[in-house]
Amino acid sequence: MRVLNVLVICFVFLLTSCSSSYLTSSENVSKTKQEYDKVLVVGRSKDKTSRIKFESEVVKTLQENGVDAKASYEVEGTKDLMNKLSESQIQSLKQKLVTQGFDGAILTNLINTEEYTDVLPGSTSTAYVPARYGRFGRYVGYYPITTWEPDELKTGIKYVFESSFYNLSKKTGDNLEWVGRFELKDPSSIERTTSIYSKELVQALLKNNIQTKK
């Protein structure tokens, strides 16, 4: 029974540690779902290569699901969004986007980086060693020797991103529709990372806010 419990614990741990999910929390702010004619995808980053890969992947995933979208690095007025904009500049930019046919926008920002420490539970193993019992003759028996591997500490860097979806067709009031937080630990491949991130992001938006066209 003890061995079975250990195996169950290790199996659950493997499932958890190998999980590729990045979305850790989300909020459907508007609680409304509708069709959008064209969605702008913005990934704010000082690294232009990462930005292009991310925006292109999200656009591709949206289009595969029947949503017309375009990356901000290809749109006049949003090619450089690293600088902080005033309220009047934001309103002017919004109007330009609406004029170009955009009625939705996804904005993704890196909001924090921090060190993390995970405790990886140690494992156990049992070996059965032969032994001799008795004074006369020879009787060979076996007794178990169980060894425990100590817990392992894994440290690294965790990146926290936030993606927000806005309804640009709203003329007044708040136009935030959805917001989600994503956590990435030591991403090793930008292609794999952007692929998983974009799929989780688009799935959440299709479930909560974006109605695909029939």
The closest of 189, 191, 201, 209 to 21, measured between CA atoms, is 201
Predicted TM-score (pTM) of this structure: 0.76
- Per-residue pLDDT for 39 more than 50? yes
Average pLDDT score over residue span 1-26:
50
For residue 151, give the 3-state DSSP assignment.
coil
Residue type, 72: S
**For residue 61, what pLDDT is reported?**
97
pLDDT, the chain, mean: 82
H or E element in which residue 53 lies: helix 48-64
Task: Write out pLDDT tens, residues 131-180.
Answer: 555 444 444 556 666 777 776 777 889 999 999 999 999 988 899 999 99
Percentage of residues in the chain having pLDDT higher than 70: 79
Task: Write out pLDDT tens, residues 62-72.
Answer: 999 999 999 99
